[in-house]
Amino acid sequence: MSQKIKFNIVGMTCVNCSNAIERVTKKIDGVNDANVSFTSSLGEFDVENESVVNSIKAKIQKLGYEIATDYEELESKKQKALKAFRNKLILAAILTAVIMYFHMFYHHGKLSSSIQFILTFVVVFYCGKSFFIHGYGALRNKNFDMNVLVSLGTLTAFLYSSFIFFFPNLVDAKFAYVYFESAAMIVTFILFGKFLEENSKLKANDYIKSLLNLTPKMALLLKKDGTSEEILADKLQIGDIVMVKSGMTLPCDGVVVGGGAEVDTSVLTGESLPIYKKIGDMVNAGCVNTNGYLNVKVITSKHETLLARITKLLSEAGAKKMPISKLADRVANIFVPSVIVIAVLTFVIWAICGNPYYGMMTAIAVLVISCPCALGLATPIAIVCALSNSAKNGMLVKNPEVMEILKDVKTVVFDKTGTLTKGEISVYKTNLDKENLLKIANAELLSEHLISKAVVKFAIDSGLSLSKSSDKFENIVGKGIKVADGKILVGSEKLLNENAIFLTQNQKSEFEEFLANGFGVILAVIDGEYVGYIALSDSVRDSSKSLINELREKGVTSVMLTGDNEKVAKFIASSLGIDKVHFNVLPQEKLSIIQEYQKGSKVIFVGDGVNDALSLKGADCGIAMNSGSDIAKGAGDILLVNNNLNSVSKLINLSEKTMNVIKQNLFWAFFYNIICIPIAAGVLYPSFGVLLNPAYAALAMSFSSVTVVLNSLRLKFGRI
């Protein structure tokens, strides 16, 4: 059976680097597929078995890149690489300034040219060494990336000047002119552009880094004798109890077993106001106790906390490619060979016209100015910025492909209980006597359903002492529960009818008023006899109504699916202003209803329960509530960590902004190349006498990438 392995890869400079790694590693026996993102520096490989892991690592390192074992090491190596980049940039800038001084203010004699040759050699082959290493590796693997263009352009300028310097008598006097400064300036300007780009990319990803720094290193472990001991947070075990004093950050996910405190959860949910947490409430690592004290029982390991899962998902999401990103990758991959052909043609045409010197300079300018860095950056950097912003606001996008879909959504389908409503169901009224209520509550103890929990809680609050039944239990999804082969039935009228129990009109009239007013009602049967009803209530989320109004203003149709009966469903739909409602829907029917809506438009499904998992997967975009089941959270494309339904509208807004920024980036990347390549080739020379110096071509190329990054950063800091 195949398996997936992941590596953090350091040193990729553009999309062609990641393409090169994908192409090379796919050729290794035992590697079924490879997906590498240069933006997130993550490579995912589908392999037959672990025996090929070392081969993959060796191939990647042979191409000139490094492997980092985890995110911390990756960040450390990136910071180290950026520092080395900066130092080389400073050295290159100083030496280039000296070269320019001799080039502009000294006669091109032996001494001046010697100094320029030596200094340029240092700039090109020391400061710009990485371009040649990656360019050579790319050529060996028949992958033409940006490093190939930079290497070709720089080497051509340097070798031509060196030939003139060492063999001046072999060249016509009118062409005997050295251009060491061009080679040095190309390297310096490209280093400058790459430094700005890498620095901006690190900032775009710094939300992940800030998440990693949230969990405290130390924790106060509460011992059995009542004393506390400060230990490393990494040493905490499931079941340990930690003390969290006012002002301290929670070191773990857990449940409050003592005390009470106001907790700042803004880092996970975006909620600005502290939330009071009491005994029995869940709390998460990274949140801050702002007032009070808590004793918290650890319920997850360090690597499974909500914070750890968010960090992992965010990192992985950046590695996934959207359709528009794949298009840009394909274009970038065929772009470089096309540019090389254009550069050769440029040289040939100028040479035929009698000026091979201009031909060489324009060919270099074409090679340098055409680097497809901006094209490769256009989509991934925008996605990374958008995902960081959404995560900061409590919306975790696990599948970035949906960011391309959300803006086109015309229908949003909601599950009712736990989604539009809080799912905090409670018993409003019952006509069961204490003896029958005890039997029903004992049966409900066997189920984890919210309704069952509400009945159990009501029975306990009524002073009954419960004991779990050992009889055979059957959960009939969407209808109720069946215990002891039907001896006890609790659920809908449909469940009763299927078991040949039919209510009289008098019996129905006892609870019809509750149904008419939007309450839920479950019916109880003991030993084949109907014994009474339980009326249930569920409160609507504060954010539900405002979201439905916002969707209507956007022209988006709202739909509610529920297993409740018609009256309850219509009562909730009417109070929220929902456009369409489907009631008495079984879990397996939800997906087919969603598929019907998909025939007319893109559909979002928002749900929280185990029975919503299919619909979350089947919709164009599945949004899961964090308060829901683990299965639903795993199935959704997006997880609302903040449990705020208004986030659905914000996600649609963010999708529109993201796609606009991507289109702007692609437009400027293509527009820049379409305009600049002909100018670099000398098309303006016949009419205006204008030729583009290769050094300025390098400067223009660098700033095109920086422009794309800066344009994308608007997504990270802008309001959604």
Q: What's the rounded Cα separation, in Å, for the pair 154 and 714?
A: 34
CA distances from 51 to 2, 319, 346, 380 (A): 12, 24, 49, 32
Q: What's the rounded Cα separation, in Å, for the pair 16 and 35?
A: 13
Q: What's the rounded Cα separation, in Å, for the pair 339 and 636?
A: 43
**Is the Cβ–Cβ distance between 555 and 578 less than 8 Å?**
no
Residue 470: strand, helix, or coil: coil
- 418 closest CA partner among 457, 387, 454: 454
**Is the Cβ–Cβ distance between 415 and 612 less than 8 Å?**
yes
Strand stretches in 104-227, DSSP E: 218-222
**Is the Cβ–Cβ distance between 585 and 563 less than 8 Å?**
yes
Give the distance, in angstroms, between the CA of residue 4 and the centroid of all CA atoms in the same chain: 19
- 419 closest CA partner among 271, 624, 564, 565: 624
DSSP state of 304: G
Show the CA angle centred on residue 703, arms to residues 699 and 707, nearest 5°. Answer: 175
Percent helix / strand / coil, the chain, rounded to 5: 55, 20, 25
Q: What's the rounded Cα separation, in Å, for the pair 424 and 445?
A: 17
* Token digits of residue 613: 């998992």
Q: What's the rounded Cα separation, in Å, for the pair 139 and 432?
A: 81
For residue 269, list its beta bridge partners. none
Radius of gyration, CA atoms only, the chain? 33
The answer to whether 415 is a known catalytic residue is yes
* Token digits of residue 67: 């492997």
Which residues, in sequence order, are CB contacts of 18 under 8 Å at separation 6+? 12, 36, 37, 38, 43
Q: Which H or E element spans position 524?
A: strand 520-526
* Token digits of residue 274: 């502290």
Q: What's the rounded Cα separation, in Å, for the pair 59 and 56?
A: 5
- 236 closest CA partner among 315, 308, 289, 290: 308
**Is the Cβ–Cβ distance between 165 and 178 less than 8 Å?**
yes
- 188 closest CA partner among 123, 126, 115, 113: 123
- 265 closest CA partner among 239, 284, 252, 279: 284
Q: What's the rounded Cα separation, in Å, for the pair 323 and 338?
A: 23
Which residues, in sequence order, are CB contacts of 71 under 8 Å at separation 6+? 8, 208, 212, 311, 315
The burial class, CB within 10 Å (0-12 / 13-18 / 19+), for 509 is: exposed
**Is the Cβ–Cβ distance between 532 and 440 less than 8 Å?**
no
Residue 555 phi, psi dihedral angles, 5° rounding: 80, 20
**Is the Cβ–Cβ distance between 172 and 356 less than 8 Å?**
no
Residue 641: strand, helix, or coil: coil
Of the candidates 240, 253, 415, 637, the residue annotated as catalytic is: 415
The burial class, CB within 10 Å (0-12 / 13-18 / 19+), for 142 is: exposed
Catalytic residues: 415
